Amino acid sequence: MKLHDLKNTPGAVHRRKRVGCGEGSGHGKTSGRGGKGQTARSGSGIRPGFEGGQMPLYRKLPHRGFNNKNFKTVFSIINVGDLDCLEDSVVEVNSEVLVQAGLIRYAELPLKILGVGEVTRIFKITASKFSGSAQEKIEKAGGQAIVA
């Protein structure tokens, strides 16, 4: 299959609705906008959450509590089992090495090593955090887990 062979599923593509083209079209006169009023005008729109002047729900409900979204730390995460795909010459592992190997995307983010998989080689790994099982597996294989 090539790009020029691709076709849409029958019924997936529709004609554009042409409004205001006479009464016979079914979309004439008011062009599907109903009668008069705010929503019939061009450029109109009622913002989401507006309830016609009634006290909106989001203002009725109490706003309490704390959300950690603005302060959370985002890590680049990799499992110890994924380190096997590194070249045999690589012994010292850090964010830059993993970015070059294509295992993580950003070297700037702090790195966390998780313990899924097995370690078959000796690595000297420098990361911001290690899970307990990851640190145990690395040291059991004869490597070092260095927290930087």
Q: Which pLDDT value is given to residue 101?
A: 94
- pLDDT tens per residue across span 130-148: 999 999 999 999 999 999 8
Q: Which domain holds residue 138?
A: 76-147
Token digits of residue 53: 């002047």
What pLDDT digit, counting tens, does each position of 105-121 carry?
999 999 999 999 999 99
pLDDT, tens only, 38-48: 889 999 889 99
Label residue 13 by pLDDT band (50, 70, 90).
very high
In a domain, residue 39? The reply is no
Task: Specify if 47 maps to a domain.
Answer: no
Please report, for the domain that includes residue 131, its CATH number: 3.100.10.10
Q: Residue 108 falls within a domain, yes or no? A: yes
- Give domain status of residue 129, yes or no: yes
Interatomic CA distance for residues 51 and 60, integer angstroms: 12
> Residue 4 above 90 pLDDT?
yes
- Tell me if 87 is assigned to some domain: yes
pLDDT of residue 44: 81
Asked if 119 and 138 count as a contact pair (C-beta separation under 8 A), the reply is yes
For residues 94-108, average pLDDT: 96
| Residue 142 is assigned to a structural domain of this protein | yes
- How many structural domains are present in the chain? 1
pLDDT, tens digit, 9 for 90 and up, residues 34-91: 999 988 999 988 999 999 999 999 999 998 999 999 999 999 999 999 999 999 999 9
The whole-angstrom distance between residue 46's C-alpha and the CA centroid of its chain comes to 29
Q: Give the pLDDT confidence score for residue 99 in this predicted structure.
A: 97
The closest alpha carbon to 129, from 110, 102, 103, belongs to 110
pTM: 0.60
Q: Would you say residue 82 lies in a domain? A: yes
How far is it, in rounded angstroms, from Cα 6 to Cα 8? Answer: 7
Give the end-to-end CA distance of the chain in Å, rounded to a whole number: 49
Q: Is residue 141 part of a domain?
A: yes
